[in-house]
Amino acid sequence: MLKRLAQLSLFGAEPPAAVPSLAGAVSPSSPSNPLCALQLGGHPVAYELRRARRRSIGFVVGREGLRVSAPRWLPQADIERALLQKADWILRKLLEQTERARRVDAARIEWRDGGMLKFLGQPVWLRLDPGFSGVRLDESGSLILLGLPLSATETQVRDAVQAWLKRRARSVFEPRCQQFAQALGVQMKQLRLSSAQTRWGSASSDGSIRLNWRLIHFAPDIIDYVVAHELAHLREMNHSPRFWAVVASVLPDYQVARGHLRDQSITAE
């Protein structure tokens, strides 16, 4: 099974041009708790302070920024001292959150004429024209031609493109599964496409494999890795060294694709 490790993006994987500002990352949402602020490593950091019946100070960095839970009796100065001690960790987590938000933003596909998405790892642009019929890739492989008027709604465009992507996913995944099943000496009983939000793929001991159709956005070597990974589970239903040896037997460079996939996430469109 391959699970999402981080909420990063499918499409906006380029590194940031500059260290993003932390100020925008911290906007705690709960109005019931006071907002506090202090300087951590030269950055102004706001945080939500929750007073609770507890003995120690807790820190959580989430999408809303930094939240601190502290015992009711603890002086503010002690809380700030604890924050300063944890400054490196807090700043690192806040930066990760900022990056994550930026990537999720960049991953959002604009479902309109001129919108861009990745198909088999390559950028393709959407072209709407009622003169076309159906949905197809043009000869250059860089345009998805859609038989829809320019006035089509985002939902209409998204539904048409996603239905096409799912069909393409099946026709791309199927032969890769057959090839890897043969190489691994396993029998795949059934291939199903999934829309899971947290998994790229899964395998059951009855020989059925599920692959997330959104893998079609990725380059072929990433798809191959997920295919080989799930089919290898038909021999080893675990992630033991034996399992990884099975994967390596058909994909010696699997670590590269695995590392790449770790930086991606499944984004719901």
Q: Which residues of the shown chain bind Zn ion in the complex (CB under 5 A)?
A: 1
Report in angstroms how near the CB of residue 238 gets to Zn ion at its nearest. Answer: 8
Dihedral (C-alpha) 210, 229, 104, 268: value to the nearest 10 degrees? Answer: 0
Q: At what angle do helices 220-232 and 254-262 cross, to 10 degrees?
A: 100
Nearer to Zn ion, 200 or 213 (CB): 200
Report in angstroms how near the CB of residue 243 gets to Zn ion at its nearest. Answer: 7
- Residue 28, Cβ density class (10 Å: 0-12 exposed, 13-18 middle, ≥19 buried): buried
Nearer to Zn ion, 56 or 238 (CB): 238
Nearer to Zn ion, 26 or 209 (CB): 209
Q: Pairing relation of β-strands 199-203 and 208-212?
A: antiparallel
Nearer to Zn ion, 1 or 106 (CB): 1
Report in angstroms how near the CB of residue 212 gets to Zn ion at its nearest. Answer: 13
Report in angstroms how near the CB of residue 102 gets to Zn ion at its nearest. Answer: 29
Q: In what order do the strands lie in the sheet with 208-212?
A: 2-3, 199-203, 208-212, 190-194
Nearer to Zn ion, 148 or 261 (CB): 261
165 within 8 A of 213, measured Cβ to Cβ? yes
The Cα 97–Cα 62 span in angstroms is 7
Among residues 217, 221, 230, 220, which one has the least CA distance to residue 251?
221
Nearer to Zn ion, 202 or 267 (CB): 202
- Here the tokens at position 5 are 């490790």
Shortest-Cβ-distance residue relative to Zn ion: 1
Instruction: Tell me how far CA of residue 38 lies from CA of 26, 41, 90, 207, 212, in angstroms.
Output: 12, 10, 12, 56, 43
Report in angstroms how near the CB of residue 232 gets to Zn ion at its nearest. Answer: 8
Nearer to Zn ion, 165 or 184 (CB): 184
Report in angstroms how near the CB of residue 190 gets to Zn ion at its nearest. Answer: 18
| Helix segments in the chain, DSSP class H | 76-85, 87-107, 154-184, 220-232, 241-250, 254-262
77 within 8 A of 41, measured Cβ to Cβ? no
Report in angstroms how near the CB of residue 230 gets to Zn ion at its nearest. Answer: 7
